[in-house]
């Protein structure tokens, strides 16, 4: 039956279910203190790290980061869509799933998504047939052979051919207005300013892009003629968000029962060429820089990521952007390394020259993140001079503070202390630079929303964005609320006014939800954000139960919210101090000197108060 499943029914179902029973039917659980444990069904492991909390009705794996409520477990374990999982669990409770009829509402969106998935699968099969049968396909086949690809690897990655011509796909699938609109929504057709509609991919080798469930969500195309650009990707659509997806990840998971590492390269052909040489764990981003979302997805599957880039200046800049994305995700036990190839050489060239063994030897010699970070920041500095070491400290500290607290971060601080000759205790007392109060933001609507050309950024005043080092405060508040949702009644959400950032926005949304529905449980909260990047963060935070004392959660939450509330004042104070410190003391006026003294005293009092609270 079509229609949206009411949220009230989902909440009632979660209240009736016992997550221990749900999981134990599928994975044998053993009692472990107040929780239950097992070997994780989502990755290979010898020591159980999969924990189920019966009180809060959620599960979490400390090995791969998988987590969620009973619905989320059934979806991932049995590879079911959300409605199917609800139906399955409702049957165990003898419940009939109600549906809401709402024109243009969530039910319509759900149906549209299903239609898009079905259409994209049909289009992928059509392109594959064209590669085998179209009279012009010989050029595409010859190109693939020249690149050393076999028919077997082409089939494994479902390679296809978009024949020359403006309306092949339109003629095949656009028989009526509804189908043409669906093709436009899927990004497979383009409509120009004069209203003419034509195929997006023409005279190109086509690479289907699959999501983690194996559904075709987009395509990439490599030109065979002289058209530009050489590589073309599908635009953002309702089912395709390039900042979240990795080409080849689905195939890598199919080929490897246990992923030890994931290799991130730059292009489709690199992924496929490596797979043909039995290096079946390569992926590629889709025309975007590696994002935090990409990294969280990778680290849920394996403990190590290796980035592979050209060794030229552009490649090193891209590698450093990847490093910046990786830092916040580098919890203890996770590792990122960087492989730089000779200038002008790509992974395809390297693996054909040295074979699998030669390429994996290169991977073993990849540069560790800490070495790449310190070497890059040290460029142009005289590490033998006091000034050079001081500059290195100032440059490196903000990056290290982006890392999650833990052993790895402490080792990074120690390595910086060794390289600069500073005592570790002195280094830890140095303040990170204040975040700017003004940032570049695009004028709405963005290019992706409107489908028009790129909109130029402009400067505007925005709420203070929480520096990454303080993002831990927002996440700490989220974790406390997940473990004791009823504590939200004590919080004044206006304390977040003047702050911005992804974690702050999520905290504000969660507080608003708990104000509206104070009866919400941990399982309900996880279900509300299931399948989103925010949901992945909440699952991870919910899994920090071992780190959160059971007593005093309310006071911890109030202290954390107070620390967040004073951030704008603290950051403004730091900015004033930094500005005055940048002036030679001898050149300062008497009034500026007095002001600096007063500001430093105020800063000391603020830090002392924060220290007493234990923030």
pLDDT tens readout for residues 367-406: 999 999 999 999 988 888 888 888 898 899 989 988 988 8
The residue whose two tokens read 């998504």 is 113
pLDDT higher than threshold 70 for residue 226: yes
pLDDT higher than threshold 50 for residue 453: no
pLDDT higher than threshold 60 for residue 465: no
Confidence (pLDDT) at 82: 82
Task: Please state which of the ranges 182-186, 467-471, 487-491, 608-612 shows the lowest mean pLDDT.
Answer: 467-471
Query: Taking every pair of C-alpha atoms in the chain, what is the biggest distance, in angstroms?
Result: 85
- Burial bucket for residue 353 (CB in 10 Å: 0-12, 13-18, 19+): exposed
Over residues 474-489, mean pLDDT: 88
pLDDT higher than threshold 60 for residue 446: no
pLDDT higher than threshold 80 for residue 308: yes
| Bridge partners of residue 603, in order along the sequence | none
Residue 549 backbone dihedrals phi, psi, to 5 degrees: -60, 145
Domains of the chain are: 7-92 (3.90.580.10), 106-233 (3.90.980.10), 249-373 (3.40.1360.10), 380-429 (1.20.50), 466-615 (1.10.860.10)
Confidence (pLDDT) at 442: 30
pLDDT band at 434 (very low <50, low <70, confident <90, very high): very low
Q: What are the tokens at 250?
A: 């689905």
* Between residues 469 and 96, the one the model is more confident about: 96
Confidence (pLDDT) at 608: 57
pLDDT higher than threshold 60 for residue 431: no
pTM: 0.60
> How far, in Å, CA of 178 to CA of 487, rounded?
49
Strand order of the sheet with strand 335-341?
A: 282-284, 262-265, 304-310, 335-341, 367-368
pLDDT band at 56 (very low <50, low <70, confident <90, very high): confident
pLDDT higher than threshold 80 for residue 19: yes
Task: Please state which of the ranges 22-31, 405-414, 455-464, 489-498 shows the lowest mean pLDDT.
Answer: 455-464
pLDDT band at 310 (very low <50, low <70, confident <90, very high): confident
> How far, in Å, CA of 192 to CA of 197, rounded?
7
Selection from 6-20, 356-370, 425-439, 520-534 with the highest mean pLDDT: 356-370
Q: Which residues of 405-433 are buried (b: 16+ CB within 10 A; e: fewer)?
A: eeebbeebbebbbebbebeeeebeeeebe
Selection from 93-97, 550-554, 611-615 with the highest mean pLDDT: 93-97
pLDDT higher than threshold 70 for residue 45: yes
* Between residues 72 and 207, the one the model is more confident about: 207
pLDDT band at 165 (very low <50, low <70, confident <90, very high): very high
> How far, in Å, CA of 82 to CA of 303, rounded?
28
pLDDT higher than threshold 90 for residue 156: yes
């Amino acid at each position: 039956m079509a229609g949206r499943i009411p949220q009230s029914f989902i909440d009632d179902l979660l209240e009736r279910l016992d997550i221990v029973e749900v999981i134990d039917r599928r994975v044998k659980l053993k009692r472990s203190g107040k929780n239950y444990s097992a070997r994780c069904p989502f990755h290979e492991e010898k020591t159980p790290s999969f924990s189920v909390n019966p009180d809060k009705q959620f599960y979490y794996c400390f090995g791969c980061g998988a987590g969620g409520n009973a619905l989320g477990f059934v979806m991932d374990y049995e590879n079911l869509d959300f409605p199917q999982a609800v139906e399955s669990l409702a049957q165990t409770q003898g419940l009939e799933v109600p549906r809401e009829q709402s024109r243009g509402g969530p039910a319509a969106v759900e149906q549209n998504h299903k239609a898009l998935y079905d259409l994209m699968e049909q289009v992928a099969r059509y392109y594959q047939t064209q590669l085998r049968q179209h009279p012009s396909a010989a050029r595409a086949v010859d190109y693939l052979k020249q690149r050393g690809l076999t028919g077997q690897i082409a089939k494994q990655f479902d390679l296809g051919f978009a024949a020359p011509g403006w309306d092949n796909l339109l003629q095949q699938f656009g028989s009526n207005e509804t189908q043409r609109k669906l093709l436009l929504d899927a990004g497979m057709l383009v409509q120009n300013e004069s209203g003419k509609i034509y195929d997006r991919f023409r005279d190109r080798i086509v690479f289907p892009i699959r999501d983690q469930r194996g559904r075709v969500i987009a395509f990439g195309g490599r030109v065979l003629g002289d058209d530009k650009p050489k590589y073309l990707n599908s635009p953002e659509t309702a089912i395709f968000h390039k900042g979240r997806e990795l080409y080849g990840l689905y195939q890598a998971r199919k080929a490897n029962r246990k992923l030890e590492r994931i290799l991130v390269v730059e292009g489709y052909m690199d992924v496929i060429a490596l797979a043909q040489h039995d290096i079946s764990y390569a992926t590629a981003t889709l025309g975007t820089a590696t994002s935090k979302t990409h990294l969280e997805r990778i680290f849920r599957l394996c403990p190590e990521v290796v980035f592979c880039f050209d060794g030229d200046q552009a490649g090193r800049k891209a590698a450093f952007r990847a490093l910046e994305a990786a830092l916040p995700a580098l919890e203890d036990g996770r590792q990122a390394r960087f492989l730089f190839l000779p200038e002008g050489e790509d992974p395809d060239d390297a693996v054909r020259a040295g074979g699998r063994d030669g390429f994996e030897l290169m991977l073993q010699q990849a540069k560790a993140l800490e070495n790449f970070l310190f070497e890059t920041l040290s460029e142009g500095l005289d590490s033998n001079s006091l000034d050079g070491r001081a500059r290195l400290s100032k440059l490196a500290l903000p990056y290290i503070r982006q890392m999650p607290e833990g052993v790895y971060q402490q080792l990074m601080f120690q390595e910086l202390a060794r390289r600069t000759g500073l005592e570790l205790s002195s280094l830890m007392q140095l303040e990170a630079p204040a975040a700017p109060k003004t940032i570049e933001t695009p004028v709405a609507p963005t290019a992706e929303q409107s489908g028009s050309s790129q909109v130029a950024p402009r400067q505007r005043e925005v709420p203070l964005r929480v520096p990454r080092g303080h993002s831990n405060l927002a996440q700490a508040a989220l974790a406390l609320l997940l473990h004791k949702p009823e504590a939200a009644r004590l919080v004044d959400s206006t304390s977040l006014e003047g702050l911005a950032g992804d974690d702050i926005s999520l905290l504000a949304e969660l507080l608003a939800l708990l104000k509206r529905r104070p009866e919400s449980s941990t399982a309900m909260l996880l279900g509300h954000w299931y399948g989103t990047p925010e949901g992945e963060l909440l699952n991870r935070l919910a899994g920090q139960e071992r780190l959160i004392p059971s007593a005093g959660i309310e006071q911890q939450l109030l202290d954390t919210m107070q620390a967040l509330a004073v951030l704008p004042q603290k950051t403004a104070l730091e900015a004033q101090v930094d500005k005055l410190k940048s002036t030679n003391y001898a050149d300062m006026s008497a009034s500026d000197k007095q002001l600096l003294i007063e500001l430093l005293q105020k800063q000391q009092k603020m830090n002392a108060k924060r220290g007493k609270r234990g923030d």
